[in-house]
Amino acid sequence: MPNPFETYLFPYMRYSYPDARPSTSYFTIAKYNDDHPDSIVSLCYKEGRPINCNAPYIQDITLPEEIDLITEDGNKSKVLEYMDATSMNDYDKLRFIDRRSNHLYAALIQTDSENENRMWGVIVFDTNSPNKDDLKEKLKDVIDRYLKITQFSLKFLH
């Protein structure tokens, strides 16, 4: 995505159900010399490859001010496992996410600039289903078409 503020990737387009509350997502970009990116978006962007993430379902867990205040049996370990699986290393950021998706697939968007592929951004597909969804498997027949449509559309933005 265009990077006007240098530390955030902003969504260019976000699809949701028509009756859903409009929302905005911000994904911070880890510094390229950091060993641990802070989201699957920055991991995908940094490594230049798709990332498939299947994390525990934590949407129903109330997140207190500090992680050590999670008292229900097994919930703290679920939250820690979620953070590890999604490459999220900031608990405070996690607390303020309304929809904590547990199945995510991030893919690179590249543009063909003077016959040279250049990384432009990341497209993320997600669901917060408690089921064992594997988005990589669900998207395998359509992901290339999504990326081609996005890449074709980008030609008109330049």
For the segment 43-79, what is each residue's pLDDT rounded down to a tens digit? Answer: 888 888 999 999 999 999 999 999 999 988 889 999 9
This prediction's pTM: 0.74
pLDDT at 31: 53
Percent of the chain past pLDDT 70, that is, above it, reads 72
Domain boundaries, given as residue ranges, for the chain: 8-154
- pLDDT tens track for 16-48: 555 555 555 555 555 544 566 778 888 888 888
Sign of the four-CA dihedral 153, 141, 88, 62: positive
Report the amino acid identity of residue 61. I
pLDDT at 10: 46
Contact in structure between 107 and 50 (CB atoms under 8 Å): yes
Cα–Cα nearest to 93, from 35, 19, 151, 8:
8
Mean pLDDT of the chain: 77
Contact in structure between 73 and 104 (CB atoms under 8 Å): no
